[in-house]
Amino acid sequence: MEPLDYRPPDTPLDVIHADHEIVLVNKPAGLLSVPGKGAHLADCLLARVQAAFPTALLVHRLDMDTSGVMVFALTPSAQRHLGLQFERRHVNKTYQARVWGEMAEKTGTIDLPLIVDWPNRPRQHVNFETGRPATTDWRVMRIEDGTTRVRLHPLTGRSHQLRVHMKEIGHPILGDPFYAEGPARDFPRLMLHAESLKLRHPDGGMGMLFRAPVPF
């Protein structure tokens, strides 16, 4: 399902790092990672990156409503190298979120299998029979006026994983148009940000850590 009222932010490309093999950028909330169907959905982060780096190739995606660090490859070999890192879960990703309610525990792990909810796609839901394994570690950072700021570490990379997992434990991410309801939904944006990405550089394999400041 494509966004009905797509109004991508008119912000300049925020480049975190660029070299001969990779470019990392800070994706703004409200911008598609890749183009949708139709000319009105052509504006996306991939197109903006390719305007500045013509050889840029897609490696992974973030939800339209999520902001934060994304990596693009600049050569086919770098794309293959990075793709394998994501596939084999050698990439370390951390997110920061604000969620509804005050979480009682300080840390925890959510292990709930997910699959697309076909009648309501792109929504996902928990299904113990046909769902794919999905695991998220979480740690409370602080309580903020009836909400909780948490750091999330997905061990798998399922679509909408963090959003569904937090909803399932009773703490939906603030501003989530799919999984939050009532006052939890009434925020100007989805309060989910890809804060850091740790990977191995395709040229030489050196470990590198990239961060984007949390905008909320």
Question: CA 205, CA 91: separation in Å to the nearest integer?
Answer: 12
Residue 122, preceding peptide bond in cis (omega within 30° of 0): yes
| Nearest of 213, 206, 197, 202 to residue 24 by alpha carbon | 197
What are the φ and ψ backbone dihedral angles of 27, each rounded to 5 degrees?
-75, 130
Element (H, E) at 101: none
3-class SS of residue 22: strand
Q: Which amino acid is at 72?
A: F
Query: How would you write the pLDDT of the chain (216 residues) with one tens digit per residue?
Result: 567 689 999 999 999 999 999 999 999 999 999 999 989 999 999 999 999 999 999 999 999 999 999 999 999 999 999 999 999 999 999 999 999 999 999 999 999 999 999 999 899 999 999 999 999 999 999 999 999 999 999 999 999 999 999 999 999 999 999 999 999 999 999 999 999 999 999 999 999 999 999 999
Catalytic, 63? Answer yes
Q: Which pLDDT value is given to residue 44?
A: 98
Pairing of strands 57-58, 67-73: antiparallel
Model confidence, pTM: 0.95
Q: HSE-up of 67 (CA within 13 Å, CB side)?
A: 22
pLDDT digits (tens, 9 = 90+) for 46-71: 999 999 999 999 999 999 999 999 99
DSSP string, 49-81: HHHHSTT-EE-----TT-EEEEEEESSHHHHHH
Active-site hit among 10, 14, 19, 63: 63
Q: Are 212 and 96 in contact (CB under 8 A)?
A: no
* Separation between Cα atoms, residue 198 and residue 187, nearest integer Å: 30
